[in-house]
Amino acid sequence: VSKGSGFVAFSTREEASQALTEMNGKMISGKPLYVAFAQRKEERKAMLQAQFSQMHPVPMTPSMAPRLPMYPS
Protein backbone atom coordinates (compact mmCIF):
# COMPACT_ATOMS: atom_id res chain seq x y z
CA VAL A 1 0.00 0.00 0.00
CA SER A 2 1.42 3.36 -1.03
CA LYS A 3 1.84 6.03 1.63
CA GLY A 4 1.85 8.67 -1.08
CA SER A 5 5.48 9.73 -0.79
CA GLY A 6 8.68 9.15 -2.67
CA PHE A 7 12.21 10.35 -3.28
CA VAL A 8 14.01 11.22 -6.51
CA ALA A 9 17.76 11.73 -7.02
CA PHE A 10 18.86 14.06 -9.84
CA SER A 11 22.23 14.19 -11.60
CA THR A 12 22.69 17.91 -11.01
CA ARG A 13 21.42 20.57 -8.64
CA GLU A 14 20.07 22.46 -11.66
CA GLU A 15 17.88 19.50 -12.67
CA ALA A 16 16.60 19.24 -9.10
CA SER A 17 15.83 22.97 -8.99
CA GLN A 18 13.97 22.76 -12.29
CA ALA A 19 11.89 19.81 -11.06
CA LEU A 20 11.07 21.67 -7.86
CA THR A 21 9.98 24.78 -9.78
CA GLU A 22 7.91 22.89 -12.33
CA MET A 23 6.33 20.23 -10.11
CA ASN A 24 5.74 21.79 -6.68
CA GLY A 25 2.03 22.50 -6.29
CA LYS A 26 1.06 20.61 -9.46
CA MET A 27 -2.24 18.77 -9.07
CA ILE A 28 -2.00 14.97 -9.40
CA SER A 29 -5.25 13.00 -9.09
CA GLY A 30 -6.86 16.01 -7.44
CA LYS A 31 -4.13 16.48 -4.84
CA PRO A 32 -1.35 19.09 -4.81
CA LEU A 33 2.16 17.69 -5.17
CA TYR A 34 4.68 18.85 -2.55
CA VAL A 35 8.26 18.96 -3.86
CA ALA A 36 11.25 20.07 -1.78
CA PHE A 37 14.96 19.46 -1.41
CA ALA A 38 15.82 16.68 1.03
CA GLN A 39 16.63 17.84 4.55
CA ARG A 40 17.69 16.00 7.65
CA LYS A 41 15.07 15.97 10.39
CA GLU A 42 17.19 18.22 12.64
CA GLU A 43 17.70 20.77 9.83
CA ARG A 44 13.98 20.89 9.01
CA LYS A 45 13.02 21.21 12.68
CA ALA A 46 15.45 24.11 13.19
CA MET A 47 14.21 25.84 10.03
CA LEU A 48 10.55 25.51 11.05
CA GLN A 49 11.28 26.76 14.58
CA ALA A 50 13.06 29.82 13.18
CA GLN A 51 10.21 30.42 10.73
CA PHE A 52 7.51 30.23 13.42
CA SER A 53 9.46 32.37 15.89
CA GLN A 54 9.49 35.19 13.32
CA MET A 55 5.72 35.08 12.84
CA HIS A 56 3.60 37.74 14.47
CA PRO A 57 0.82 36.60 16.80
CA VAL A 58 -2.53 36.34 15.05
CA PRO A 59 -5.17 38.64 16.59
CA MET A 60 -8.28 36.89 17.83
CA THR A 61 -11.27 37.23 15.58
CA PRO A 62 -14.73 37.42 17.15
CA SER A 63 -15.31 33.74 16.34
CA MET A 64 -12.15 32.82 18.31
CA ALA A 65 -12.85 35.15 21.27
CA PRO A 66 -14.37 33.73 24.45
CA ARG A 67 -18.16 33.81 24.46
CA LEU A 68 -19.45 36.70 26.56
CA PRO A 69 -23.10 37.45 27.23
CA MET A 70 -24.50 40.19 25.02
CA TYR A 71 -26.68 41.59 27.80
CA PRO A 72 -25.92 41.94 31.51
CA SER A 73 -27.61 39.32 33.66
Structural domain boundaries in the chain? 13-53
* Cβ neighbours of residue 10 closer than 8 Å, sequence gap 6 or more: 16, 19
At residue 57, the pLDDT reads 66
State how far the Cα of 55 lies from the Cα of 57, in Å rounded to an integer: 6
- Mean pLDDT for back-to-back runs of 10 residues, the chain (73 residues): 84 94 93 90 92 74 58 57
At residue 25, the pLDDT reads 94
> What is the pTM (predicted TM-score) of this model?
0.52
